A and B are shown apart, each in its own frame.
Chain A
């Protein structure tokens, strides 16, 4: 299962999406302002795989060193592949 989050950590929607992914042990794809969840420590203890859209972190001035360990930076093609490959896709929060 893949949960897509487009809202930032300062929003109820964003927090809800990440909580859902945690609760359901799903993978997480962060796009738009959701990429701020990729900052170090924000996803501490997250058990699934977290992906973040490269273009959106670049646009927001986030650099590699600011991104949490284990979070995979990917492009649109991988995003589409993940959506196609997962049995369920939930979003966008």
Chain B
């Protein structure tokens, strides 16, 4: 089966999109699918370091994203979105690759299926 691109546009915790993207990515990679997760707009906040869920009842999505990376999901962050959200590469968890719009288009073009969260 071909590659799957997952585009996350929404910041984590405010709605279910980020949690669902991570869940699908984990499921896919566990089934030996090649997954590219692309973070754009508010979605780049998923990769923000230092998320602390203590006492909130939420699942820590930074931890889940790190698990995805360890399992082999390729995680990319759109450079322009990172800048727009007042972040820098050093604010993001290790293993997230910064890409520009052309590279992002290339990933979507390569993918057999693109899922948008």
Interchain CA distance A40-B85 in the complex, whole Å: 11
**Is the CB–CB distance between B62 and A61 below 8 Å?**
yes
Q: Which residues of A contact B10 (CB under 8 A)?
A: 10
B51 within 8 A of partner (CB): yes
Q: Which residues of B contact A10 (CB under 8 A)?
A: 9-11, 41-42, 85
**Is the CB–CB distance between B48 and A41 below 8 Å?**
no
**Is the CB–CB distance between A60 and B86 below 8 Å?**
no
Interchain CA distance A69-B9 in the complex, whole Å: 28
**Is the CB–CB distance between B14 and A59 below 8 Å?**
no
Q: A36-B85, A41-B86, A61-B62 are in contact. Are A55 and B51 (CB under 8 A)?
A: no
B103 within 8 A of partner (CB): no
For residues 41 through 77 of chain B, which have their beta carbon under 8 Å from a beta carbon of chain A?
A: 41-42, 45, 48-56, 58, 62
Q: Which residues of A contact B58 (CB under 8 A)?
A: 59
Q: Which residues of A contact B85 (CB under 8 A)?
A: 9-10, 36, 39
Chain B residues packing against A (C-beta within 8 Å): 9-14, 41-42, 45, 48-56, 58, 62, 85-86
Chain A residues packing against B (C-beta within 8 Å): 6-11, 32-33, 36, 39-42, 55-56, 58-63, 66
